[in-house]
Each structure stands twice: as structure tokens, then as C-alpha cells.
């Protein structure tokens, strides 16, 4: 008996849902919110000030004095703080191997530094561990055994990537990399660090593998990469939120682009006209994703980023959504809860939001069977297509390298059985990607040598 695998269709547009109010304002200690973050201890971090900060302009201005940050254990119903009062705090991260230690990126009098706390963020050192004239605005922790690796993204500099493995006693700046960085993300499936480099006009998505910097090959020319999200389901998949900047330095939204080969090549996915400032997966259910669409509201996907629906009811008119944060609350049949950080209108919390793609769209392209799988010899793939359009088939390894590619120019409506010879591949997990003129689907393969 054949096993049918249902794959959802990629639909290349946003649909706006007109329902009851989706977002409500959250009362917070700041007039303007800079950053909301779910920490590793499940606390929620929030920072802000009496003036807003736009980090996407050519030369961002940071207040000389700031309002610090707060922590919340109960979904922003109550707040503990302020901490680092007098500083503008842009991000924070807790160490894993030294659970009481925390590090904050904070600015005062125009200089940003890395500040250390030895008691879980309650008290902070007076002097920074390191200090820069650039704007250090994002910090990420990657733990490898007993080693905590911290990565910092910086703007207004050609040394936008910094790494420290000794709790900021020292920092390394990759010599092969000379650019500022908007976003940094770590793919836990492939153990690769992704970051978006930018020169304020055009940008690239790059990845750091074994101390070497790799960049994409094509598809993002003349686009500025504001945000990224690697897939935790398929390590070859990567999403990028982009805009472009014209000669008058006016930013124009260009939507979301997608790569199915770890960032080597890119194609437009959806959202033309929207500046996409942030993309995130749900912390425990990667089926759900959210995107900050600037004046377009919040995009929600319930099928691994292949389709987004737009929600903005309850947000102020022309609210500029710059960040999304997804609470670590289990999803249910009604979707997930999302926080939306706006540039000038504060923080908003959603009701449960979901994409209705499962009810409205079914795939016209399916992989019905792969036999045998695991694979150690010849094998066949049965693909169901609703038209006779050509198919492009790739076998991709976990590093995103295409091991095999072929074009099937002649297909029939219905089932197409395709036979493959034995491949001399190293044992491991690979991905079969099938692309028609309008759909892309993939399935895991296990090769045994």
C-alpha cells in the first residue's frame, strides 16, 4: 500500500483577515519600546525609553540617557525593575553554564558596551566589559558543552560581527568579514550561524561555518536584508525579510524571500510592498511563524512559512510593527499568541492567531512514496502532479549542497513514477526537493552507504 504524504501549497500572497480585534495594547513602563525578548529561563525581557530608536536609518541616534529594562514572569502583567536605569538597553542574554551571569548591550552618552551581571540581571557592573563606538544591538548565545559562545551584531561599523567564548574577557572579529550586521540567527539543526550583512544600500545573508564566512550567490542583489529565520525543520530552508533603499535614501518594502539551499540562491516568496523587520518561529512548534511587516501589520503562518495571512485589527492606524515576539505558550487549534512591538505606538498582544491555509488551500503537487527509504541501492519516487508541467528535482545534503539535480521535462497529470540509480553518498539525512512551475515540496531521505 502506498503511503500518501500531504504537502501544503506555497501561495505567493498575503491575505488580510477582517475579523474582531486581534491585538490589544499592553501597558508597559515605557512610552516607546525598543526590544521584547523571550529569555532562556522563560522570562520576558522588555526595554524602552522616552524616545524611539529607528536602527534602519543611515545614522541611528541613541539617547544619551535611557530608562533601562524590566523583566516579567507573568506575561507582562507585572514587571520587575527597572534594571540598568539610566542606560538605553538594546538586548540581553543569560549564560547557560554560569546560570547567574547575564550580559546586556547598553548605551550611555553615545557609546554602547557589554555590561555584566553576576546575580541574574538584578545588579550590573558599573564599567562595561567591552565598549564600542558602533551600535551593538543584538546578542546571541550558542552553547557547546561547557563553552558559552556569545555573538554580537553591530551597526555603524565595518566590523559588525563579534564573538566571545570567555564571557567577554576578549572578543574576536572575523577578518574575512567587513560589514555591519542587522540580524543574527542560529540554526540548531545544521549548527550554522546566519547573519545579514549590509552597507545601507544592499545586503547579503551570510553563514559562519568553521570560522569561515560564506555568503549567498544570487537572488538578493540590490536588496537590504533586515531579518532572517532559518527553518528548524529543514536545515536547507531560510527566510529573509528585505527592503531596498533608493538614491534619495527612501526605503521600499520588498517582502519575504526564501532559499532552499542554505542561502546560496533566493527567490521571492510573498509580501511585496512590506518592509519585513522581523521573522520568528514559535519556540516549540516550528509549524507556526510570525513576521513584523511594518505598516502592513503582522504576518502569521501555520505551515512552516509557506503561506502568511496578515493581522492588524486593534493596531493603531499606520502603526509601524518593527518586531514580533512569540510567547512560549503551547499552540492549539486557534493558533498562537504574538507580541507586536511598534516603532512609536508601544507594545501590543494578540489573541490566538492562525493561518487558514489548511482549510482553503491543498497541494497540487505531492510526493506519494519513496521506496525504499532508507536507501542503499536503486530507488523510486512517486510524485502526483495536477498538470503536466516540468519538474525540477534536487537531492540536497544538510549543508545545503546540491548532490544531484535533474529536470523531468515530460510528465503526466496524476502519478509519475521516477526511478533513480544508486548514489555514492555518505550515510546520513538528505532532502528531496521537487519544484514545479508554482509549487515546491520536500521530503527527507536516509541514505546508507
Q: Cell numbers for 357, please give them.
A: 491555509
Q: Is the pLDDT of residue 142 over 60?
A: yes
- Greatest mean pLDDT among 263-277, 394-408, 431-445 lies in 263-277
- Measured distance CA(247)–CA(265) in Å, rounded: 26
Q: Of 135-139, 373-377, 400-404, give the lowest mean pLDDT range.
A: 400-404
Strands 321-326 and 338-342: antiparallel
- Measured distance CA(274)–CA(336) in Å, rounded: 22
Give Cα 393 to chain centroid, integer Å: 26
Class of domain 364-447: mainly beta
| DSSP single-letter state for residue 357 | H
Mean pLDDT across the chain:
85
Bridge partners, residue 51, by sequence: none
Amino acid 19: pLDDT: 44
CATH, domain range 14-359: 2.130.10.10
- Measured distance CA(223)–CA(203) in Å, rounded: 6
Q: Of 109-118, 298-307, 313-322, give the lowest mean pLDDT range.
A: 298-307
Q: Would you list the domain boundaries of the chain?
A: 14-359, 364-447
Amino acid 178: pLDDT: 80
pLDDT digits (tens, 9 = 90+) for 261-283: 888 888 888 887 889 999 999 98
Q: How far from 228 is each of 62, 65, 136, 225, 318, CA to CA, in Å?
A: 24, 30, 18, 8, 24
- Residue 373 exposed, middle or buried by CB count within 10 Å (0-12, 13-18, 19+): middle
- Residue 315 exposed, middle or buried by CB count within 10 Å (0-12, 13-18, 19+): buried
Amino acid 211: pLDDT: 60
Q: Cell numbers for 145, please give them.
A: 558543552
Amino acid 440: pLDDT: 66
What is the mean pLDDT of the segment spanning 166-195?
86
**pTM surpassing 0.85?**
no
pLDDT digits (tens, 9 = 90+) for 314-323: 999 889 999 9
**Are 14-359 and 364-447 equal in CATH topology?**
no
What is the mean pLDDT of the segment spanning 386-401?
79
- Measured distance CA(149)–CA(129) in Å, rounded: 15
Amino acid at each position: 500500500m502506498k503511503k500518501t504524504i500531504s504537502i501544503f501549497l506555497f501561495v505567493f500572497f498575503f491575505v488580510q483577515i477582517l475579523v474582531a480585534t486581534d491585538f490589544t495594547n499592553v501597558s508597559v513602563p515605557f512610552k516607546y519600546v525598543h526590544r521584547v525578548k523571550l529569555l532562556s529561563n522563560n522570562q520576558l525581557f522588555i526595554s524602552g525609553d522616552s524616545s524611539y530608536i529607528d536602527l534602519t536609518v543611515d545614522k541611528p541616534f541613541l539617547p544619551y540617557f535611557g530608562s533601562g529594562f524590566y523583566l516579567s514572569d507573568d506575561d507582562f502583567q507585572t514587571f520587575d525593575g527597572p534594571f540598568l536605569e539610566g542606560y538605553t538597553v538594546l538586548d540581553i542574554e543569560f549564560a547557560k553554564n554560569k546560570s547567574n551571569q547575564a550580559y546586556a548591550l547598553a548605551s550611555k552618552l553615545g557609546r554602547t558596551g557589554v555590561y555584566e551581571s553576576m546575580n541574574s540581571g538584578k545588579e550590573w557592573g558599573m564599567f562595561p566589559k567591552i565598549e564600542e563606538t558602533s551600535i551593538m544591538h543584538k546578542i546571541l548565545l550558542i552553547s557547546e558543552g561547557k563553552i558559552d559562545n556569545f555573538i554580537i551584531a553591530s551597526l555603524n561599523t565595518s566590523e559588525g560581527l563579534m564573538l566571545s567564548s570567555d564571557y567577554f574577557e576578549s572578543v574576536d572579529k572575523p577578518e574575512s568579514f567587513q560589514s555591519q550586521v542587522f540580524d543574527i540567527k542560529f540554526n540548531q539543526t545544521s549548527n550554522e550561524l546566519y547573519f545579514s550583512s549590509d552597507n545601507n544600500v544592499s545586503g547579503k545573508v551570510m553563514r559562519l561555518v568553521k570560522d569561515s564566512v560564506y555568503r549567498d550567490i544570487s537572488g538578493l542583489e540590490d536588496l537590504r536584508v533586515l531579518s532572517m529565520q532559518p527553518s528548524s525543520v529543514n536545515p536547507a530552508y531560510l527566510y529573509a525579510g528585505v527592503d531596498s533603499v533608493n538614491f534619495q535614501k527612501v526605503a521600499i518594502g520588498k517582502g519575504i524571500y526564501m532559499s532552499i539551499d542554505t542561502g546560496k540562491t533566493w527567490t521571492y516568496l510573498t509580501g511585496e510592498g512590506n518592509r519585513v523587520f522581523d521573522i520568528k518561529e514559535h519556540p516549540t512548534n516550528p509549524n507556526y511563524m510570525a513576521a513584523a511587516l511594518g505598516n502592513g501589520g503582522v504576518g502569521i503562518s501555520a505551515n512552516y512559512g509557506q503561506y502568511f495571512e496578515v493581522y492588524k485589527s486593534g493596531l493603531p492606524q499606520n502603526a509601524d510593527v518593527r518586531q514580533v515576539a512569540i510567547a512560549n505558550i503551547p499552540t492549539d487549534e486557534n493558533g498562537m499568541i504574538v507580541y507586536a512591538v511598534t516603532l512609536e505606538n508601544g507594545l501590543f498582544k494578540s489573541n490566538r492567531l492562525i493561518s487558514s491555509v489548511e482549510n482553503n488551500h491543498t497541494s497540487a503537487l505531492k510526493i506519494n512514496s519513496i521506496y525504499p527509504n532508507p536507501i542503499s541501492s536503486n530507488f523510486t519516487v512517486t510524485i502526483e502532479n495536477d498538470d503536466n508541467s516540468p519538474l525540477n528535482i534536487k537531492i540536497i545534503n544538510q549543508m545545503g549542497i546540491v548532490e544531484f539535480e535533474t529536470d523531468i521535462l515530460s510528465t503526466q497529470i496524476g502519478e509519475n513514477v521516477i526511478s533513480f540509480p544508486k548514489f555514492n553518498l555518505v550515510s546520513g539525512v538528505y532532502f528531496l526537493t521537487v519544484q514545479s512551475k508554482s509549487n515546491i515540496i520536500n521530503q527527507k531521505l536516509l541514505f546508507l552507504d
